[in-house]
Structures are given as C-alpha cells and as structure tokens.
Structure 1
Amino acid sequence: MGRPSNTEQRKQEIVAALLQVMANVGYEKASIQSIAKQAGLAPGLIHYHFKTKQDILIAAIHWIATSAEQRLQTMLNGARDPWEKLKAFVYARLATGETQMPQIVAAWIVVASESIKHDDVRTIYQSLIKTQLDILSALIVDVWTNKIEIDDEVTHLSAIIVSAIEGAFQLSVTAPDAMPKDYAAESVIRLIESRLTR
C-alpha cells in the first residue's frame, strides 16, 4: 500500500487536531482557528479540505471507529477460543496501560454528547453502538452454554455490557479522580462470567 496522498494526509492531520482540541475543550469551543493551530496549518487549508467543522467531526467519528475496529481485530487475531475472543472485545474497549488512548476516549464522549444535537452524528453514533451490540452478542452466544442463537437474554446482557463500557468511558473523562484505577475491564469480565455461569 502506498503513502497517503497529500490531501489525505492533510485531512488526517486536521482530524487528529480536532480530536486533540475536542479532548481539551469540547466540540463547541473547538474553533477552526484552534484546529488549524493544533494542526500547524493555516485556517484556509482547513476550509479547503472540509466545508464545515461538522464535516471534520464526522470524519473524526469514522477515524475513531476504524481505529477501534483495527484494535479489536488485532486482539481477536491473538485469541484462541471463544472466551479469549470475548475477553479480547472487552480489553480492546477498556484497556489500560500502554494501549489506552485517553484523548480518543475523551473525544468519543464529546461525540456522544454531540449526537444529541445533530441528527447526522446521532445516526452514525447509533449505528456504531448497534455494531458493537451485534459483535458482542455473537461473541456471547459462542460462550454461553445452551445458547445457539441471539435471543433477548443475550441482547440484554450485551446492552448491559455496552452500557458499562460507555459509562466507564464517560466517568474516566468526567470524574477520573472519583473512580478506582484500572477497574473496568476486569469488572466487566467478572460480570459476564457471573451471568453465564448461573
């Protein structure tokens, strides 16, 4: 695969700059000027590559989703059995240490809040959450004894887990000093194990 074109490289730089600025000040306060400054570009170049700030946000959402998918696939490739795959899903979302990405998590929380205000952002956000539920439900069916298809019980457990993940994201950004360190992944895995071994 060749190098990205100059246009694609610039777009990636602009998206990365928006993610950084959003992680620090939120979307509302992320001006074209602050994005340009973070990217080391002139504001006119931002407008050349993206018509609106919301276009940058949508590109950023797609970048976050693609990065999360690549991270999950990398972790799933190392998993040998269904339980390891399920744990890989949880760790891919809630990892700490060298692989954690706090700025991306902060930007994701901003995306979630913007989905309340913007229909096109909501549509993308809901689709990404639905994809997570579908992946997780399939992984759960593979480890749940006597389950051969996705039913309400599987769907509800998947919804609880995705809610726990999204809640852990939010609290890691909004109340980091109030939350225990490195609790989320292991706690979610124990929750799954307790539900599946009843």
Structure 2
Amino acid sequence: MGRPSNTEERRQQIVAGLLRVMAERGYERASVTEIAKAAGLSPGLVHYHFKDKQEILLTLVEQLSALVRERVAARLARVKGDDARARVEAFLDAFLATGADADPAAVASWVTISAEAIQQPEVRTLYERAVRSDLEQLEELVGAVTGKRKARAVAAGLFAAIQGYFVLSASVPGLVPPGSAASTVKRMAAGLLDGAQPSEEA
C-alpha cells in the first residue's frame, strides 16, 4: 500500500490535534489556534484542510468509531472455535481496553462527542449511527448465548455500563480504579448471561 498523501497526513495531524485538545479542555475551548498548536501546524493550514472546527469533529467521530470496530474485529478473530461467551467477552475487552490498548484521550473525547451529539444534529447523526451499530453487534453476540428474546435487554445493560464507565473515567479522573471497569462489566455479563438462557424463551 502506498504512502498517504501529504494532504491526508496533514488532515490526520489536525484530527489528532483536536483529540488531544478536546480530551483536556472539551470541544468549546478547542479553538482552531489550539488545535493547530497541538498538531504542530499553523492555523492557516487547519483552515486550508477543513472548512471549520465542526468538520474536524465529524472526521474524529468517524475515525474513533472505525478504530473501535477494528479493535473489536481483531479481538473477535482471536476467539477460538464457536465459544459464544468468549466472543461477548472479546467485545467487552475491545471497548474497555486496558494496558497497551488503553487510550484515555480517545475515551475523554468520546464522552465530549456524546455531549456534542445532544447539541449538534450533524454530530448526533454520526454518533447515533456508531452507537447503534456497536449495540447491534453486541446484541447479536449476546443472542448467541441467551437467544434473541433476551438479547436486546442484556446487550443494552452492558453497553450502558460501558458508557457509564467512560463518563466517570473522563469526568472524574482517578475515581474508577485502573482495570476495574473491564473486570466489573465482565462479571456483570456473566451474571446476565447466566440469568437469560435460551431455555427460558417461549
């Protein structure tokens, strides 16, 4: 595969700059000047590659959701055989990544994006598409364990727990003990999956 174009490299730098600034200061205080500084570029180059700050944000939403999809796919590919429970756990691991996979800046930015989705219809459209797609995938994985009837409620509960951990870790750093989110959500998943077996379906 060829090397990315100079334009694409610059755009990536700018999007990464927004992620860094937004993780520290939020979207409102992420000025083009601050984004340019974090990207190591001039404000003029930011304006050359993006028409406004919102366009950078929309690109970031798409990139963050694509990165999560790639991480989920990679984790699922490592599951041996047809172990449905292990596939649910792989999905949860991908979202609540720890160690080398951890990305606190991305988590903080995603929380900010969720707040912007309430205020900006364009952001809401992309955010909702990403969240619905992720939840549908989790529902399908859960359904292989519980059966379809209970899958939506179990998947929604687990997904809400993940999002709640994101909000807590981003808004009150240090409140959630490191690594506890993944282990707690996995224990929740085990309990919910055990309590919703296919034999309970009509």
TM-score by length of structure 1 reads: 0.94
Deviation at 1:195, TM superposition (A): 1.8
Shift of 1:196: 2.0
Identify the residue that residue 63 of structure 1 maps to in structure 2.
Answer: 63
Q: Report the alpha carbon displacement of residue 181 of structure 1 after superposing the two structures with TM.
A: 2.7
The corresponding residue for 2:6 is 6
2: CA distance between counterparts of 1:123 and 1:48? Answer: 25
Q: Is residue 171 from structure 1 mapped to residue 173 from structure 2 by the alignment?
A: no
For residues 45-60 of structure 1, the aligned pairs below 5 Å read 45-60=45-60
Q: Pairwise mapping of residues 138-177 of structure 1 onto structure 2 (< 5 A)?
A: 138-144=140-146, 147=147, 150-151=148-149, 153-177=150-174
C-alpha separation between the residues in 1 aligned to 2:176 and 2:73? 29
Partner of 1:116: 118
The alpha carbon displacement at 1:185 in A equals 1.3
1:40 aligns with 2:37: no
Deviations 1:18-53 (A, max 9, x none): 000000111000000011111111111111110010
Deviates more, 1:180-189 or 1:39-48: 180-189
**Count of residue pairs the alignment pairs up:** 193
Return structure 1 stretches of 4+ with deviation > 2 angstroms: 176-181
Residue 129 (structure 2) aligns with: 127
Q: Which amino acid aligns with 2:107?
A: V
Aligned match of 2:179: 182
Q: Determine helix, strand or coil for the equivalent of 1:177.
A: coil
**Deviations 1:38-81 (CA, angstroms, capped at 9, x unpaired):** 11111111111100100000001111011111111111110112
Q: Give the Cα–Cα distance (whole angstroms) in 2 for the partners of residues 168 and 27 of structure 1.
A: 20
Structure 1, gaps ≥5 residues long: none
Deviation sequence 1:151-189 (CA, Å, 0-9, x none): 3x2111111111100000110111233323311112111
Tell me how large the CA RMSD over aligned residues is: 1.1
Match of 2:192 in 1: 195
**How far does residue 102 in structure 1 lie from its aligned partner after superposition?**
0.3
Q: Distance in 1 between matches of 2:2 and 2:85?
A: 37
CA distance in 1, matches of 2:157, 2:44: 45
The CA deviation at 1:105 is 0.4
Q: Distance in 1 between matches of 2:144 and 2:7?
A: 43
Q: Deviations over 1:127-150 (max 9, x none)?
A: 111111100011001122xx2xx3
How far apart, CA to CA, are the structure 2 residues paired with 1:177 and 1:63?
A: 27
CA distance in 1, matches of 2:104, 2:178: 13
Distance in 1 (alpha carbons) for counterparts of 2:87 and 2:156: 18
Matched residues in 2 for 1:103 and 1:186: separation?
21
| Equivalence for 1:22 | 22
Give structure 2 stretches of 5+ with no counterpart: 196-202
